[in-house]
Structure 1
Amino acid sequence: MQQSGIYEQLITQLVEKRLDRERFYVGERTLSSNEASVWLSRFLSNILEYAISSVPTGNDQLQQQIALSNELLLWLKERLQDDGLIEENLLNSQGKILTALYELENPIAANLKQYVEDIFPLTGLTQSELFCGSNAGLSLESELKREILSADKIYWLVSFIKWAGIRIFRKELEAFTASGRELKVITTSYMGATDAKAVEYLANLPNTEVKLSYNTERERLHAKSYLFLRNTGYHTGYIGSSNLSHSALTNGLEWNLKITSQEIPHIIDKSFSTFETYWASNEFERFDGDASSTEKLNRALRQQRGSDDQSTAHFFDITPFPHQSEILEQLAVERHLHQRFRNLVVAATGTGKTLISAFDFARFLKEKPNATFLFVAHREEILKQARAAYRGVLRDGSFGELWVGSHAPAHYHQLFVSIQTLNNQLDQLNLTPDYYDYIVIDEVHHIKANSYRAVLAHFQPSLLLGLTATPERHDGGDILADFGGVIAAEIRLPEAINRRHLSPFQYFGIDDDTDLRNIAWSRGRYDIGQLTNLYTHNQARVDKIVLSLQEIVTDISQMKALAFCVSREHADYMTKQFLLKGITADILTSDNSDQRQQKQQALRSGQINVLCVVDILGKRIKWLILPLHESETDRHLIGLSG
Structure 2
Amino acid sequence: MHEGLYETLVTQALAQQLTTLPPKRRTLEQHLDSADAPEVLSRYLAGELQRTLSATKDPERRLALVNRLLAQIEAVDAPVATPARQLYAVHEAQAPTSIIDRPRTPLSDAALLTNAKGDPNLGAELRSEFGSAEQVDLLCAFVRWTGLRLLEEPLRAFTERGGQLRVITTTYVGATERRALDWLVDEIGAHVKVQYELNRTRLHAKSWLFRRATGFDTAYVGSSNLSTAALLDGVEWNVRLSAVATPSLLHKFDATFETYWNDASYVDYHPAQDSERLDAALAEASGRTTRGTALNLSGLQVRPYPHQQQILEQLEVERTVHDRHRNLVVAATGTGKTVVAALDYKNLTADGHRPRLLFIAHRIEILQQALRTYREVLGDGSFGELWGQGYRPEHWQHVFATIQSFTRSTAELAPESFEVVVVDEFHHAHSATYRRLLSYFTPCELLGLTATPERTDGIDVAEEFFDGQTAAEIRLWDALEAELLSPFHYFGIADNVDLSSVSWRRGGYDHTELENVYTGNDARTLIILKELKDKITDPSTMRALGFCVGVRHAQYMAEKFTAAGIPARAVSGESSNEDRGQALSDLRKRRVNILFTADLYNEGIDLPEVDTVLFLRPTESATIFLQQLGRGLRSSPDKAVLTALDFVGHQRKEFRFDRRFRALTGATRRGLRDQIEHGFPFLPSGCQIVLDRQSRQTILGNIKSQTQHRWRTLVSELKALAAMRGADVSLATFLHEGDIELADVLKPGKGWTQLRRDAGLPVPARGPRHEEVVRRAAAIAHVDDPERADAYLRLLSDGAPSYTDLSERDRRYARMLFFSIWPDRGDFPADPAAPDDLYTDGLEAFHAEPAAKAELSEIIGIGRAGIRHLPGELAGPLAVLGLKTHARYSRDEIVAALDHAGPERRADSFREGVLFSEPWQADVFFVTLRKSERDYSPTTMYNDYAISPELFHWESQSRTSIASPTGQRYLHHRERGTHVLLFTREHKQDTLGAAPYLFLGPADYVNHTGERPIAITWRLHRQLPTDAFRTAAVATA
TM-score, normalised by the number of residues in structure 2: 0.23
TM-score, normalised by the number of residues in structure 1: 0.34
| Higher RCO, 1 vs 2 (CA within 8 Å, ≥6 residues apart) | 1
